[in-house]
């Protein structure tokens, strides 16, 4: 069956995202838009994912645990896991690779950690838009080791994209899918051998996709989705 997905959505934890991106607002807007599966992918942190999963409980929406890592090379990579526990384990591994750097919310935007009632629990004090101390290759290997999948994000953009920074997509069996960003031209290289993900990269509620990008799955679950991306085309 085909399911409508948007696998790249930021919450108010990302400093560049609107503060309206609370767990409840994201879940409710996704339901209004008729989505079946969403992924929460904040920059370098997964601290709001559990709250969004809790909000979606009992509703007709699957939340795939995710994060958008910024590597040492300044490449954005979406990393997805089958369970929140695995994602949080990954998050702890990544957190120590982020530097303590002076950061003022009034200049860069707030980084709000929220609970499932949209209450602010804390403000993240490590600046999340920095490049983590992990290389692209190491990231791919570690995510794979943890049973997750790493997807180079918005490869058709000129900022923070694998294709722009490396100039090509490395031949690597661990790259099984690539994401195309909206409002950027389709790349002039052959991407037919990859699963191609179209997503919103929403930083505000209105940007969340409508029913426009579909994935054919045997069942509506995070495990099935990861299995789908692992299938060789
Ligand atoms: Zn990005
Ligand atoms: Zn993003």
Q: How far is the CA of 75 from the centre of ligand 2 (A)?
A: 11
Cβ(48)–Cβ(12) below 8 Å: yes
**Which string of b and e fits 184-219 if b means at least 16 CB within 10 Å?**
eeebeeebeebbebbbbbbbebebbbeeebebebee
Q: How far apart are CA 204 and CA 221, in angstroms?
A: 25
pLDDT of residue 17: 97
Q: How far is the CA of 58 from the centre of ligand 1 (A)?
A: 30
Cβ(18)–Cβ(111) below 8 Å: no
Annotation: CATH topology of 2-230: TIM Barrel (3.20.20)
Ligand nearest to the CA of 66: 2
pLDDT of residue 106: 87
pLDDT classification of 216: cutoffs 50, 70, 90? very high
pLDDT of residue 52: 98
Spatial CA neighbour of 70 closest among 158, 5, 159: 159
The three-point CA angle 148-228-37 to 5° equals: 85
pLDDT of residue 104: 87
Percentage of residues in the chain with pLDDT exceeding 90? Answer: 92
The 10s digit of each residue's pLDDT in 55-78 is 999 999 999 999 999 999 999 999
Question: Taking residues 160-186, what's their average pLDDT?
Answer: 94
Mean pLDDT of the chain: 96
Q: How far is the CA of 40 from the centre of ligand 1 (A)?
A: 12
| 20 token code pair | 């309206």
pLDDT of residue 121: 98
Residues within 5 Å of ion ligand 1, judged at the Cβ atom: 76, 153
Q: How far apart are CA 228 and CA 233, in angstroms?
A: 10
Left, alpha or beta for 50 (phi > 0: left; psi -120 to 50: alpha)? alpha
The 10s digit of each residue's pLDDT in 83-136 is 999 999 999 999 999 999 878 888 899 999 999 999 999 999 999 999 999 999
Q: How far apart are CA 35 and CA 54, in angstroms?
A: 17
Place of tokens 């767990």: 23
**182 versus 176: which is more confidently predicted?**
176
**DSSP output for 7-46:** EEE--TTSTTS-TT--HHHHHHHHHHTT-SEEEE--BT--
**DSSP output for 94-127:** HHTTSPP----HHHH---EEE-TTS-EEEE--S-
**146 versus 102: which is more confidently predicted?**
146
Q: How far is the CA of 196 from the centre of ligand 2 (A)?
A: 16
pLDDT of residue 184: 85
Q: How far is the CA of 127 from the centre of ligand 2 (A)?
A: 15
Q: How far is the CA of 76 from the centre of ligand 1 (A)?
A: 5
Q: How far apart are CA 21 and CA 113, in angstroms?
A: 11
Percentage of residues in the chain with pLDDT exceeding 70? Answer: 100
Q: How far is the CA of 59 from the centre of ligand 1 (A)?
A: 28
Q: How far is the CA of 14 from the centre of ligand 2 (A)?
A: 9
DSSP state of 1: -
Predicted TM-score of the model (pTM) = 0.97
pLDDT classification of 148: cutoffs 50, 70, 90? very high
pLDDT of residue 74: 98
Left, alpha or beta for 33 (phi > 0: left; psi -120 to 50: alpha)? alpha
* 233 pLDDT more than 80: no
pLDDT of residue 165: 95
Q: Residue ranges of the domains in the chain?
A: 2-230
The 10s digit of each residue's pLDDT in 8-23 is 999 999 999 999 999 9
**Number of other residues whose CB lies within 10 A of the CB of residue 52:** 26
Question: Taking residues 29-51, what's their average pLDDT?
Answer: 98
């Amino acid at each position: 069956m085909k399911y409508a997905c948007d696998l790249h959505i930021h919450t108010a934890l990302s400093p560049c995202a609107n503060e309206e991106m609370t767990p409840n607002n994201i879940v409710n807007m996704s339901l209004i838009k008729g989505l079946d599966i969403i992924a929460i992918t904040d920059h370098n942190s997964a601290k709001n994912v559990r709250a969004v999963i809790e909000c979606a409980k009992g509703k007709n929406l699957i939340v795939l645990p995710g994060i958008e890592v910024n590597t040492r090379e300044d490449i954005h990579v979406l990393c997805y896991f089958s369970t929140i526990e695995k994602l949080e384990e990954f998050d702890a591994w990544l957190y120590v690779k982020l530097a303590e750097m002076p950061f003022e919310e009034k200049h860069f935007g707030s980084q709000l950690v929220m609970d499932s009632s949209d209450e602010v629990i804390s403000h993240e004090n490590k600046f999340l838009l920095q490049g983590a101390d992990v290389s692209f290759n190491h990231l791919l290997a570690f995510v794979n080791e943890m049973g997750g999948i790493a997807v180079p994000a918005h490869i058709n953009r000129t900022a923070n994209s694998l294709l722009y920074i490396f100039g090509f997509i490395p031949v690597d069996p661990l790259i099984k899918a690539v994401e195309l960003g909206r409002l950027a031209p389709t790349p002039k290289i052959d991407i037919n051998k990859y699963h191609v993900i179209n997503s919103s990269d929403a930083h505000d509620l209105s940007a969340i996709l409508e029913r426009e990008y579909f994935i054919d799955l045997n069942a509506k679950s995070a495990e099935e989705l990861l299995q789908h991306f692992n299938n060789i085309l």
